[in-house]
Structure 1
């Protein structure tokens, strides 16, 4: 059984689409289809149900995928462990985050402190973060909401207030704070379900017994402040963005709710082998966010 075919199967199973898997793997579709067919012939059972060009993982495929995920994860961990045994504190750390703004300053400082360690970034929402950790696609996730899974471990990096941002010429500009019930009557800009700002907003509005007037839903939380600054509505933005000053000018108000905040955590998989480079990153992140540089 060819190891490469197992990796091909893993990607095809994730996409359940030959052409999208081929694009990710940078192989021709016919070659990928033949590789999957050879794997099924070796096993003696079909792994996918096929209807025309559509494929769907069947029961045998789901069972096999669980084993393949485990085997390939162990091999990847073994490779990292052998590199560490050679005494090399180099390599690459893979990190997923909801938005790159959260990590920009910290990663710049990390590169200066550890020039021999590279960092590969992925933008992900909470559901895909759990999958990436399980498949060892990333070493860490930087999450602003709890990730579900008993095999996950986390380190709280920081807690920060979440503010309401409004256009600079808004009638609330200059006010110190605003009630959730008032916010519900304004055009509201928010990420799609799954993003931490949406989870926070839904909780605040539900508890207040009001429904927001959503005028824009997006997949890029980092763009919210620019949309608000353009006058399209109001929205919840972490206070980190206020300090960074990298987006459009807005006015800031406190939200009259005790728990209008986010907890930023570094999350990893309990059973994954953390390379020396990954451990260096974890230690650096804990020290960085605890220090004055993150304030």
Structure 2
């Protein structure tokens, strides 16, 4: 191997390879051994190559026979005259008795609820009728779910309204409605063993449509007319002050008592007028003796009327509401 000349870094002139100082400027020189790296003194560093990522495993091939999916359907056409027709998720599919029907005890009938097994392409594999017990349980579960939804949605709102109105007032209005709609307001003793009970609405209906005392005692069908409308207004009027800001709405608490007094007075006057008219008619037909006889008969007929316990309950509730009305009015003043 030939010697490599050495150059001075200060003046740039060459010098002999074995020289340690520049002959011109005297600058120390770096020998070839210092400049040339010793390749044998240490092994060159090894740079690791990146390991290639493993190839993803191939996806398994889909099965040729997909599992059947069940759906609920309703039969639209039976199999008496050819293939039947079943509706599943708004789709109409055909089926046959021999190939698809899965009930040994009954044949397909219209409007029967069935479980339909479908393949991957949506074609019918089997049609099985749903037992009545399962349908009844599903209907009951649906009703329970609906009730739970109503409870969760409307019960909190209802409780807010109940707290706003107040339970005592609601109970009083409920008792008033029960007394007027279902409980006997008047009882008519037709005989020792026959008693006819009339609710408040029955009494109002008879007072509205009957033009004779005999008609009121015999009953009949018809509308309560203005009397019935006023009765409904009197039932809901005690709640008006809760929803209406006007101070005068508190007078609605007096409506049930006013209705009982005015209606009772009106019915009494109507019966009295009918009785007087019947007596005068008989007196004009057969003289004073016949008139007196007719009057005695009318008094006996009126004695058959008796006040029912529904009227007493309604009167007690009406007095309670009127007492609350007095307190409300005085507090507003």
TM-score where L is the length of structure 1: 0.25
Q: Report 1 or 2 for greater relative contact order, CA contacts < 8 Å, sequence distance ≥ 6.
A: 1
Q: Which protein has the larger Cα radius of gyration, Structure 1 or Structure 2?
A: 2
Give me the TM-score of the superposition, normalised by structure 2: 0.23
Structure with greater strand share of residues: 1
